[in-house]
Amino acid sequence: MPEGYLPILFLLAIAIAFPVIALIVARLLRPSIPNPAKLEAYECGIEAEGSSRGRFTVRFYIVAILFVIFDVETIFLFPWAVRYKQLGWFGVAEVTLFLSILIAGYIWARKKGALDWV
């Protein structure tokens, strides 16, 4: 039922319009007196020591990859969950198999220390 989505689009349109209009109104009302010190990035009142455009630690990429794996797995589970009653024990067995592969991977990653933080 695609027409069911129309109100959502309508809501999203308002949701975009509201902040944009508010920002425009704010722009008309608020003062704008920038000066060099004001435009500095906040670093506790001191000029920044380093740039924040560097490369940061690789840990974050590992989390991202792990997340992709697990999130995709969750998405796979949803269709099964919807048909859970109809699929019966067969479905449960399948999902157990599916999850056990995943859990094996999880245990491996854990043993490897991918889940250890710093």
Partner 1 sequence: MTFETLLPYLMAAIFAMAFPLVTGYLVLVERKILADFQARLGPMRVGPHGLLQPIADALKLILKEDTVPKDADKFLFYLAPLLSVVTAFGSFAVIPISATLRIADLNIGLLLISALAAVGVFGIILGGWSSNSNYSLLGALRGAAQLISYEVALGLSLVTVVMLSGTLSMQGIVEAQFNQRIWFLFGNYGLMLLSFFIFLIAAVAEVNRAPFDLPEAESEIVAGYHTEYSGFRWALYMLAEYTNIFIICAVAATVFFGGWLRPFANIEWLAYPMDAIFPAALLFLSAWGCARMKLFPFTALLGISGLVFLIPAVATALSAPFWFFLKVSAVFYVLIWFRASWPRLRYDQLMDLGWKRLIPLALGALLANAIIGML
Partner 2 sequence: MTNHLETSEMLLNMGPQHPSTHGVLRLVLKLDGERVKAVECVIGYLHRGVEKIGENRTYMQFAPYVDRMDYISAVSNGLGYCLAVEQLIGAEAPPRAQIVRVLFAELNRIASHLLWLGTSALDLGAMTALFYTMREREEVLKIFENYCGARLTTHAFRIGGLQYELHDTFEAETRAFSEMFKKRLDEYEKLLTKNPIWVERLKGVGILTAEECKSYAVSGPMLRAAGVNWDLRKAQPYSGYEQFDFEIPVLHGADSYDRYRIRIEEMRQSLRIIDQALERIPSGAIMAKVPKVLKPAPGEVYVSIEAPKGELGYYIVSDGSLHPYRLRVRPPSFVNLASLEKMAVGALVADVVAIIGTIDIVLGEVDR
- Dihedral angle over CA of 28, 29, 33, 34, nearest 10: -60
Given 35, 57, 74, 86, the residue binding partner 2 (CB under 8 A): 57
The residue within the footprint of partner 2, chosen from 35, 52, 74, 86 (CB under 8 A), is 52
In the region spanning residues 4 to 63, those forming contacts with partner 1, defined by CB under 8 A, are 4-8, 10-12, 14-16, 18-20, 22-23, 25-27, 29-34, 36, 38-44, 48, 50-53, 56, 59-60, 63
Q: Is 48 in the site for partner 2 (CB under 8 A)?
A: yes
Residue from 46, 55, 58, 85 touching partner 1 (CB under 8 A): that is: 85
Binding mask 95-114 for partner 2 (x = CB under 8 A): -----------------xxx
Going 51 to 55 to 57 to 59, the CA torsion angle's sign is positive
Residue among 7, 56, 85, 89 that touches partner 2 (CB under 8 A): 56
Site membership for partner 1, residue 104 (CB under 8 A): no
Per-residue HEC secondary structure of 11-79 comes to HHHHHHHHHHHHHHHHHHHCCCCCCCCCCCCCCCCCCCCCCCCCCCCCHHHHHHHHHHHHHHHHHHHHH
